[in-house]
Amino acid sequence: MQNEVGGEIADALGVLLRRATRAQLYKTLTAGMGEALDELTYPVLSAVARIGPRSAADLASEVGLDRSGVTRRASRLEQAGLLRREPDPLDRRATLLVLTEHGERAVDELRRRLAAHITASLTAWPPDEAQAFARGLRRFITEGPFT
């Protein structure tokens, strides 16, 4: 029955969501990268790196948060020199959040560490199966239940 696939995904996602929010992993992975970069601020930084400079309001929907939350997280990143606020040339009310040079290096480095950490646990997987999983995951993001 096709519906049971949805049930399996629901169960697995439930476990995954809970386990992945344990802050310990970020604690170790961000060693020596400054205090501002943690499991709360990284999604903001990563989103800017992924979709480019945006306003806090636009990022809010992206990271599933209120505008105020994005603003505060961005302020911490700004104070650490990873992010800078830049007035939108098209709309002087808006302020765009832009990665600094330092921020780009930081997000690259942390992404590399995350990738290495994930890859290390996938050594037993056949490469084509791992790629199929990654492809399925990406598709699940774009056209799955969380759009």
Binding site for DNA (CB under 7 A): 40, 55-58, 64-69, 71-75, 85, 91-95
Of 36, 57, 59, nearest to 48 (Cα)? 59
Q: In angstroms, how far is the first alpha carbon of the chain from the final one?
A: 25
Q: Which two tokens stand for residue 18?
A: 């809970």
Instruction: Figure out which of the listed residues 89, 90, 93, 143 binds its own copies, where binding follows CB under 8 A.
Output: 143
Residue 61 phi/psi, 5-degree rounding, is: -65, -30
Alpha-carbon gap, residue 5 to 26, rounded angstroms: 31
The amino acid present at 141, given as its one-letter code, is: I
Q: How far is the C-alpha of 70 from the C-alpha of 63, rounded, in Å?
A: 8
Annotate each residue in 63-102 with x if it binds its own copies (CB under 8 A) or - if it does not, as one string. xxx-------------------------------------
- Using CB under 8 A, which of 33, 34, 43, 75 touches its own copies? 43
Give the total of residues touching its own copies (CB under 8 A).
61
Residues making contact with its own copies (CB under 8 A): 2-22, 25, 42-43, 46, 50, 62-65, 111-112, 114-122, 124-125, 127, 129-134, 136-141, 143-147
